[in-house]
Amino acid sequence: MPRTILCYGDSNTWGYIPSRSDNYQPASRYKRHERWTGILQVLLNSKYLIVEEGLNSRTTHIDYFHMPDRNGKTYLPSCLYSHAPIDLVILALGGNDAKSYFNSTPEDITAGMGDLINIIQSSSYGPEMSTSPRVLIITPPIPLPVAEECVDENGVLFFNGGIEKIKKLPLLFEKLANEKTCEFLNLAEDIRPSSVDGIHYEKEAHRKFAVRVEEKTKLIFGDRY
């Protein structure tokens, strides 16, 4: 049986194609083989099953006033059960929590990530449906300055101040991972978002992301499977 890896993320897991930040456009999506999850499946081959659960605008634990389905904490329990048994859950979230709508601090965002970890670790959706899955936290990319010019569908700037918040997450997420006995991967500095909107990955970044996650996955499982 292949190991199951659930990739629980936001628009960079969904495969959002960068678009002009100052002119809202409907989302366009990379093809599966271009997204980091699809590339990861090829790299890890049939020994692993990569389950993609990316959603644009997903937060760790916050409701949008007009998009309640974007709350990652609310959806996670049923998502885990749907795909169980799961060997590893990758959490690639936190960037949307930094939007100016929410007035969240870096500590608030970290607490939201902690809530997700608690849900996973208190479940029995791991191997043999008798233990909990392992958890890997991945840092969100540090946005480029152009991100602060991004507008939503109503023409409202939504990322003012978000860059400085996200810059503080790697240290906080690493500390959280140590406290919760989780795995941690900091890609914030190594893999940069597109200069088009300052938030989303281009194709080459998806490839680099997949390679780094492949390496980490093999370390987690001892590459002995």
pLDDT tens-digit readout, 109-131: 999 999 999 999 999 999 999 99
C-alpha–C-alpha distance, residues 190 and 175, integer Å: 19
Exposed e or buried b per residue across 161-185, where buried means at least 16 C-beta atoms within 10 angstroms of its C-beta: ebbebbeebbebbbebbeebebbbb
Query: Residue 106: what pLDDT?
Result: 98
The DSSP output letter for 155 is S
Tell me: pLDDT of 205 over 90. Answer: yes
- Label residue 23 by pLDDT band (50, 70, 90): low
Within 10 A of 1 (CB to CB), how many other CB atoms are there? 8
> Given the DSSP bridges, would you call strands 134-138 and 3-9 parallel, antiparallel or unpaired?
unpaired
Query: Residue 158: what pLDDT?
Result: 82
C-alpha–C-alpha distance, residues 40 and 105, integer Å: 32
What is the rounded average pLDDT of the residues 204-225? 93
Query: Residue 21: what pLDDT?
Result: 59
Query: Residue 218: what pLDDT?
Result: 97
Torsion angle of the four alpha carbons 97, 184, 163, 37, in this order, in degrees rounded to the nearest 10: -70
C-alpha–C-alpha distance, residues 29 and 37, integer Å: 13
The DSSP output letter for 168 is T
pTM of the model: 0.96
What is the rounded average pLDDT of the residues 78-105? 97
- Residue 89 phi/psi, 5° resolution? -110, 125
Query: Residue 65: what pLDDT?
Result: 81
What is the rounded average pLDDT of the residues 193-218? 97
More confident residue, 24 or 141: 141
Query: Residue 25: what pLDDT?
Result: 65
Tell me: pLDDT of 171 over 80. Answer: yes
Give the C-alpha distances (Å, rounded to integers) separating 120 from 75, 78, 224.
12, 11, 24
- Label residue 79 by pLDDT band (50, 70, 90): very high
More confident residue, 47 or 24: 47
What is the rounded average pLDDT of the residues 44-62? 97
Please state the CATH superfamily assignment of the domain spanning residues 3-220 in this structure. SGNH hydrolase (3.40.50.1110)
Structure tokens at 224: 């002995």
Lowest mean pLDDT among 24-33, 97-106, 152-161: 152-161
Tell me: pLDDT of 156 over 80. Answer: no
Show me where the domains of the chain are located. 3-220
Query: Residue 33: what pLDDT?
Result: 98
**What is the percent of the chain with per-residue pLDDT over 90, rounded to a whole number?**
85
**What value does the mean pLDDT of the chain take?**
94
Query: Residue 157: what pLDDT?
Result: 80
Sheet containing strand 3-9, strands side by side? 48-54, 3-9, 88-92, 134-138, 183-185
